[in-house]
Structure formats: structure tokens, C-alpha cells
Amino acid sequence: MERELLLLGLLRQGEMHGYQLHDFIERNLAFCTDLKKPTAYALLERMAARGWVTVQEVREGHRPPRRVYRLTSEGEAVFQRLLRDNLARFEAAKTGSDVGLAFVDALPRAEALRLLEQRRAALTEQLAAFQSAPTHAGSYQLLIDHQLHYLRSELAWLDDVLARMRAGRLRLVSPRSTPKPKSKEASP
């Protein structure tokens, strides 16, 4: 749902064609959403079919005609609905990076430390890149602010974990406990 919210929101600022929309998202919003080109086109097509946007084929030269999308008033209504809905909810973010943490105890402490320090380096690098970005096209300040807050918070947590690990204060359960020891199933 939030992908259509995004597209509708961008189209509120004026008509645009598919490539333009995707390109803008890719350049400016890649850090908070990821929307590949074919997905964007498919969504636009569907939104057109539902009457949220109109399409107008524009051909210049003899390149394949560009399809220019424009928000309808119905689309605007949907935008309003989706926006209210989105703002009122909180959906926790998910990342693949979490999974590994579940299994750190499968590695010797020293190596785990080394790897997490690499992770920390990657994180500070992203943070730096983000901070030095040129006011990000001047727009979407809240998003940027949020992302900065998030990255800093992640860094703080990671540093805390590293400190605890170095001090040997990381309590981890025995890796032998079967996740669901319901019936017979002796631990192998």
C-alpha cells in the first residue's frame, strides 16, 4: 500500500512519466523504500486501471511513446485516505541484518568481535555518506531527520553490544536448547 501512497504523493506535485517517477525515487528515497523499475510501471498501470491516475501517451521524435501520468480527483481522495492511514499506524522496520545476531554464539568470541567491528565500520560509513549529502534535494526533511536518528541509534546500540562483548558480559543461552522440545525428539 505504501508504494501507491508514494507514487500518488509524487504525482500530486505535477504530472510525470514512469521513468521520471522511478528515477526520482531511486535518487532521493532509496534509503527508505526500494521500488524497482518494472514494479513502478506495474503499479502505475494498475492505478490507471483503477482510475486513480490518467495516462496520456506523448511521442516525440520516434522513440517509443512516453506515458505521462496525472492524478485524478479520485486519486487525490485515495491519497488522502492512504496518508491518514499510514500516519496513524506504526510498523516496525525489519532488516536482514538482525538474523545473524541470533547466532553470534556459534562463532568464537574474538571472531564475532572482529566481524561486528566490520559492521560498525559499514554503519559509520553509511552515516557519514548520509550526513554529507547535499541537503537531499531540499525536500523530505522529516525522512532525512528520521533516518539520521535511526542510524545514530543503531550505532549507539552496536557500540554497547561491542563493549559488552569485550567485557565478556554478553549473556547468551546455551546453543543446545531445542527450540521446541515438545515431544520425544532427543537432542542429537
Partner DNA sequence: CACTGAATAGTCACAAATGACTATTCATGA
Partner DNA sequence: TCATGAATAGTCATTTGTGACTATTCAGTG
Tell me the three cell numbers of residue 102.
541470533
- Tell which one of 42, 58, 115, 129 touches a second copy (CB under 8 A): 115
- Tell which one of 46, 57, 139, 166 touches a second copy (CB under 8 A): 139
Rounded Cα gap, residues 170 and 166, in angstroms: 9
- In the numeric block, the cell 486519486 is attached to 75
* Beta carbon of residue 47, minimum distance to a second copy (angstroms, whole number): 15
Q: Which does 167 bind (CB under 5 to 8 A by kind): DNA, a second copy, none?
A: none
Rounded Cα gap, residues 173 and 170, in angstroms: 10
Q: Which of 26, 24, 35 is nearest to 1 (CA)?
A: 35
Rounded Cα gap, residues 33 and 35, in angstroms: 6
Q: Which does 28 bind (CB under 5 to 8 A by kind): a second copy, DNA, none?
A: a second copy
**x/- map, 51-90, a second copy, by CB under 8 A:** ----------------------------xx--xx-xxxxx
Window 39-78: residues binding DNA (CB under 7 A) = 39, 41-43, 61-67
